[in-house]
């Protein structure tokens, strides 16, 4: 039977207006300022683009060709060119990336040297500056493979050995491969080991287990990876500078050996080489706005899918 | 030895340098329930997983000795391990249904084995679910996801899934340890019915369960087989002192 403690002596009654740490308040304040700053910068950038581009931004803008030396008209061919680029890029990169991810998660032994080499390559690819991809595309795809194809199939006549949408897409595919592989791997890892064991214990082979249990679980990772890759591929310019993007084309590309126009490249050209910068400024901003909307919405979808994957992991 | 289903001869298992199973020799009788008991870490689950070669999946594992099933050493180089697992099924401690429909879970095994006809599959699904005493509960919702079932139902589903490939032997690794008492007794009843057709080996840390459900009991300790015999004898007149100590709860 203890005796009662007076209020002043009771350690539980210590109120919190005694010596609040100035340091604590300062840190919280600093982080709040940082957050506000970042949001402000984002809004300023978005605000400028929307404000400057709203004049030209319209359905007509998206659906018509540029005219009068690109000082008037729309960006339709650039939109289509970008679209074809990301489609071909995805066809090349997604299966390749998925298979690599499945290999790394399901087949490679932990200490395997090959797996270590693959992982190292992926990490390196992910940090290579995008202009290097452009140079690689030029040197390898265009000058080596393309010229080689011309020598073998066209008796040396120049057809494949020059910039076109195929080479540009393949170059872009290399750039976005790490994103796809990482995404697919992440979703594969959320599939619990017990499910694989259950399948094997029923007498399934490893391949049957992958096909029926593992692969269906990786679909969301493939989707996320593809969307992230597409959003990156739609915006990058350096890899397509010398591998296929063109300043102006009167018609849409009709085959893989044609060149193409591109949204990001379009902005670049107009801001550096246009004949009348004042007239093209609104077009530049409107094009940027289109590109922004595209990539932001794609990223948003990818984030939503990814959070669903993470929830399943719990 | 025509009543012996599995004959184990000097089976040892190494995780790298560590010897987890030490020269295990025993005989599992056909169409009976054999319980493997022992304190945590004694190797009973490891031994169970040797029977359907699930330990092959763990890197750095080495197994020596022989495991003869119907006279055939399943660790022989020429043996097809995938086929072994069709004949020796396993039910895991934590139920692991596929994130598919109830029907697809049961049909998974037969489909893997090449059975395609819908009528044939329907029949197999119904028979398996009946054998697992869960048909009445799910027959109207075979298309629903298996993940929506309760823990006890999921475990019976996993048993049905195992039965669907018509194994000879069913291995159960503490199948009821994660379940409530009612589900547990349902599973125990099931085990009793299934032994008419199958040879069952069940790992359990619950001695009362071993005494209730099994015909034979093997006591493991620190990787060694200490004693094996008829359940009745083991629990009333154990031969080894270690067995007696464990059974009377002196250590666990």
For the sheet with B4-15, list strands across it: B18-29, B4-15, B61-69, B72-73
| Record: contact A208-B112, CB cut-off 8 A | yes
Query: Which of chain A's residues have a Cβ under 8 Å away from the Cβ of B112?
Result: 202-204, 208, 212
CA distance A195 to B106: 14
Q: Is A204 on the interface with B (CB under 8 A)?
A: yes
Query: Which of chain B's residues have a Cβ under 8 Å away from the Cβ of A213?
Result: 98
Query: Which of chain A's residues have a Cβ under 8 Å away from the Cβ of B85?
Result: 200-203
pLDDT digits 0-9 by tens, B3-59: 889 999 999 999 999 999 999 999 999 999 999 999 988 999 999 999 999 999 888
| Record: contact B112-A204, CB cut-off 8 A | yes
Q: What is the DSSP letter of B204?
A: -
The pTM of the whole model exceeds 0.95: no
Question: What is the biggest distance separating any 2 CA atoms in chain B, rounded to whole angstroms?
Answer: 57
Interface probe, candidates B85, B158, B168, B171, chain A, greatest A C-beta count within 10 A: B85
Rounded mean pLDDT for each run of 10 residues along chain A, 314 residues in total: 69 65 88 95 92 83 79 83 92 94 88 89 93 93 89 82 90 94 91 93 94 89 90 90 85 85 87 78 87 87 82 65
| Record: contact B165-A202, CB cut-off 8 A | yes
How many residues are there in chain B? 252
Question: What is the biggest distance separating any 2 CA atoms in chain A, rounded to whole angstroms?
Answer: 106
| Record: contact B54-A208, CB cut-off 8 A | no
Instruction: Name the band, by pLDDT with cuts 50, 70 and 90, for residue B1.
Output: very low
pLDDT digits 0-9 by tens, B228-246: 999 999 999 999 998 999 9
Residue of A nearest to B87 (CA): A203
Q: State which H helix or E strand residue A249 sits in.
A: none
CA distance B245 to B43: 18
Interface probe, candidates B61, B91, B99, chain A, greatest A C-beta count within 10 A: B99
Q: Which of A194, A197, A202 is opposite residue B112, by nearest beta carbon?
A: A202
CA B38 to chain A, closest CA, distance in angstroms equals 24
Query: Mean pLDDT for chain B?
Result: 92
Q: How many CB pairs under 8 A join A and B?
A: 60
pLDDT at A313: 60
Query: Which of chain B's residues have a Cβ under 8 Å away from the Cβ of A205?
Result: 82
Both structure tokens of A121: 């390559």
Query: Which of chain A's residues have a Cβ under 8 Å away from the Cβ of B79?
Result: none
Burial-class residue A119 by CB neighbours within 10 Å (0-12, 13-18, 19+).
Answer: middle
Interface probe, candidates B98, B128, B158, B165, chain A, greatest A C-beta count within 10 A: B98
pLDDT digits 0-9 by tens, A235-284: 899 999 889 888 888 888 888 888 888 888 888 888 887 777 777 888 88
| Record: contact B112-A212, CB cut-off 8 A | yes
Q: Is A194 on the interface with B (CB under 8 A)?
A: yes
| Record: contact A110-B59, CB cut-off 8 A | yes
pLDDT at B188: 92
- Per the CB < 8 A criterion, the answer to whether B247 and B241 are in contact is no
Flag whether pLDDT at B173 surpasses 90.
yes
Residue of B nearest to A208 (CA): B112
Q: Which of A195, A200, A213 is opposite residue B85, by nearest beta carbon?
A: A200
Residue of A nearest to B85 (CA): A203
Flag whether pLDDT at B216 surpasses 60.
yes
Query: Which of chain A's residues have a Cβ under 8 Å away from the Cβ of B59?
Result: 109-110
Query: Which of chain B's residues have a Cβ under 8 Å away from the Cβ of A217?
Result: 99
Q: To 10 degrees, what angle do helices A165-189 and A76-102 make?
A: 40
Q: To 10 degrees, what angle do helices A215-235 and A263-273 make?
A: 10
Q: What is the ipTM of this complex?
A: 0.91
CB neighbour burial string for B24-48, b if at least 16 within 10 angstroms, e if fewer? bebbbbbebbbbbbbeeebbbbbbb
Q: What's the rounded mean pLDDT across residues B83-106?
A: 94
Q: How many CB atoms lie within 10 A of CB A166?
A: 22
Secondary structure class of B172 (helix, strand, coil) = strand
pLDDT at B127: 94
Instruction: Name the band, by pLDDT with cuts 50, 70 and 90, for residue B163.
Output: very high
pLDDT digits 0-9 by tens, A175-213: 999 999 999 999 899 899 999 999 999 999 999 999 999
CA distance B216 to B6: 13
pLDDT at A87: 92
CA distance A245 to A243: 7
- Per the CB < 8 A criterion, the answer to whether A168 and A265 are in contact is no
Half-sphere exposure of B82 (CA within 13 A, CB side): 10
pLDDT at B252: 61
- Per the CB < 8 A criterion, the answer to whether B31 and B195 are in contact is yes
- B 142-171 residues with CB < 8 A to A: 158, 161-162, 165
pLDDT at A90: 93
pLDDT digits 0-9 by tens, B133-159: 899 999 999 999 999 999 999 999 999
Query: Which of chain A's residues have a Cβ under 8 Å away from the Cβ of B115?
Result: none
CB-based contacts of A213, cutoff 8 Å, min separation 6? A191, A195, A196, A198, A199, B98
Q: State which H helix or E strand residue A234 sits in.
A: helix A215-235
Secondary structure class of A15 (helix, strand, coil) = coil
HEC profile of B35-91: EEECCCCCCHHHHHHHHCCHHHHCCCEEEEEEEEECCEECCCCCCCHHHHHHHEEEE
- Per the CB < 8 A criterion, the answer to whether B240 and B226 are in contact is yes
CB neighbour burial string for B125-135, b if at least 16 within 10 angstroms, e if fewer? bbbbbebbbbb
CA A298 to chain B, closest CA, distance in angstroms equals 28
Residue of A nearest to B55 (CA): A197
Instruction: Report CA dihedral (A204, A208, A214, A217) to the nearest 10 degrees.
Output: -110
CA distance A171 to A240: 8
| Record: contact A203-B96, CB cut-off 8 A | no
Q: Is B98 on the interface with A (CB under 8 A)?
A: yes
Flag whether pLDDT at B75 surpasses 80.
yes
Query: Which of chain B's residues have a Cβ under 8 Å away from the Cβ of A311?
Result: none
CA A115 to chain B, closest CA, distance in angstroms equals 16
């Amino acid at each position: 039977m203890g005796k009662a403690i007076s209020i002043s002596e009771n350690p539980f009654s210590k109120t919190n207006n005694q010596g609040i740490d100035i340091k604590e308040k300062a840190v919280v304040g600093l982080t709040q300022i940082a957050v506000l700053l970042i949001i402000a910068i984002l809004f300023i950038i978005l605000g400028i683009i929307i404000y400057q581009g709203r004049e030209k931004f319209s359905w007509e803008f998206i659906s018509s060709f540029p005219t009068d030396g690109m000082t008037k008209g729309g960006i339709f061919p650039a939109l289509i060119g970008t679209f074809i680029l990301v489609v071909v890029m995805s066809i090349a990169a997604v299966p390749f990336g998925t298979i690599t991810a499945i290999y790394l998660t399901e087949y490679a032994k932990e200490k395997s040297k090959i797996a270590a080499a693959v992982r190292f390559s992926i990490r390196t690819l992910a940090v290579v500056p995008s202009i290097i991809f452009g140079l690689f595309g030029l040197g390898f795809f265009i000058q080596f493979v393309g010229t080689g194809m011309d020598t073998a199939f066209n008796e040396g006549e120049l057809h494949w050995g020059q910039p076109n949408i195929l080479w540009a897409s393949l170059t872009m595919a290399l750039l976005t491969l790490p994103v796809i592989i990482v995404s697919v791997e992440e979703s594969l890892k959320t599939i619990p080991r017990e499910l694989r064991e259950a399948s094997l214990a029923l007498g399934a082979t490893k391949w049957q287990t992958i096909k029926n249990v593992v692969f269906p679980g990786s679909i969301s990772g493939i989707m996320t990876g593809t969307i992230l890759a597409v959003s990156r591929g739609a915006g990058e310019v350096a890899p397509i500078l010398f591998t296929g993007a063109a300043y102006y084309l009167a018609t849409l590309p009709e085959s893989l050996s044609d060149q193409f126009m591109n949204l990001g490249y379009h902005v670049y050209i107009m801001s550096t080489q246009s004949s009348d910068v004042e007239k093209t400024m609104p077009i530049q901003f409107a094009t940027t706005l289109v590109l922004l909307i595209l990539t932001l919405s794609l990223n948003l979808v990818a984030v939503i899918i990814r959070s669903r994957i993470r929830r399943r992991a719990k | 030895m025509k009543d012996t289903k599995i004959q184990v001869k000097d089976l040892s298992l190494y995780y790298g340098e560590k010897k987890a199973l030490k020269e295990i020799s025993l005989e599992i009788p056909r169409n009976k329930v054999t319980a493997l008991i022992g304190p945590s870490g004694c190797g009973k689950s490891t031994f169970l997983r040797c029977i359907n070669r699930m330990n092959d999946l763990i890197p750095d594992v080495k197994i020596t000795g022989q495991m003869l099933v119907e006279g055939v050493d399943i660790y022989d180089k020429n043996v097809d391990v995938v086929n072994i697992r069709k004949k020796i099924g396993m039910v895991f401690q934590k139920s692991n249904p596929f994130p598919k429909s109830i029907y697809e879970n049961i049909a998974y095994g037969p489909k893997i084995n090449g059975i395609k006809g819908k009528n044939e599959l329907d029949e197999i699904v119904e028979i398996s679910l009946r054998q697992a005493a869960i048909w009445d509960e799910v027959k109207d919702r075979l298309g629903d996801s298996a993940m929506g079932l309760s823990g006890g139902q999921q475990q019976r589903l996993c048993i049905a899934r195992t039965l669907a490939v018509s194994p000879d032997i069913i291995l159960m690794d503490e199948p009821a340890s994660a379940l409530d008492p009612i589900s547990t007794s349902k599973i125990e009843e099931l085990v009793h019915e299934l032994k008419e057709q199958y040879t069952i080996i069940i790992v359990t840390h619950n001695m009362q369960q071993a005494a209730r459900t099994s015909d034979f009991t093997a006591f493991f300790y620190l990787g060694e087989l200490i004693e094996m015999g008829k359940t009745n004898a083991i629990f009333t007149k154990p031969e080894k002192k270690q067995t007696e100590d464990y059974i009377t709860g002196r250590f666990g």
